[in-house]
Amino acid sequence: MAAPEPSTLGVVARAPQRPDVHTLSLYVNNKPGVLVRVALVFARRGYNIESLVVSPTVRGDFSRMTITCSGDPETLEQIIKQLAKLIDVVHAIDHTGDDSYETEIALVKLESKLDQRTEILQIAEHYAARVVDYGSDSLMLQAHGSSEKLDAFIGLLRPFQLTDLVRSGKILMARGKRVT
């Protein structure tokens, strides 16, 4: 797999990805218990949530849930219909294949001896990652971009001693005046 360009900060949703991966956006009331009710809809149908990001919206009484999930499209269609019926869900949209801007963040911690740092930093530079913590025998990098870009970045770092990895999960916004 060819490495993505380092300047690629986001990706149009039509970029190649696993065919069974879907990205949903839910606009929900910002109330306790909403997340549990949404997750239960997926669990009852045996649908796997790969990442889930909840964030405030312009209106403080609402939140945006961005859910990356995998499974068959027919089941997903039923899940979206069930989500739309939940009282606290204002709308649920499947953005798979839409013209949307997507990005995520990864923090990668590595054990690194001084003689390995040059190679690690070259990889980081190629992916526009930045060093957020230096230690005498460790390094922490932050990278952002499409899921595919981060997968490639982490893949190149695997030969080194990865000690920790945290990914934010995908966030997205529909382009133009379309609703997210």
Per the CB < 8 A criterion, the answer to whether 108 and 152 are in contact is no
Q: Is the pTM of this model over 0.75?
A: yes
From first to last of its 180 residues, what are the pLDDT tens digits of the chain? 444 444 433 433 333 456 678 999 999 999 999 999 999 999 999 888 999 999 999 988 999 999 999 888 889 999 999 999 999 999 999 998 888 999 999 999 999 888 889 999 999 999 999 999 999 899 999 999 999 999 999 999 999 999 999 999 999 999 999 988
Q: Angle 20-26-29 (CA atoms, 0-180°, nearest 5)?
A: 155
Give the pLDDT confidence score for residue 149 in this predicted structure.
96
Give the pLDDT confidence score for residue 132 in this predicted structure.
97
Give the pLDDT confidence score for residue 17 in this predicted structure.
53
Per DSSP, the three-state class of 154 is helix
Q: Which residue has the tokens 């990864």?
A: 106
Give the pLDDT confidence score for residue 19 in this predicted structure.
62
Please tell me what DSSP assigns to residue 36.
Answer: H
Give the pLDDT confidence score for residue 3 in this predicted structure.
43
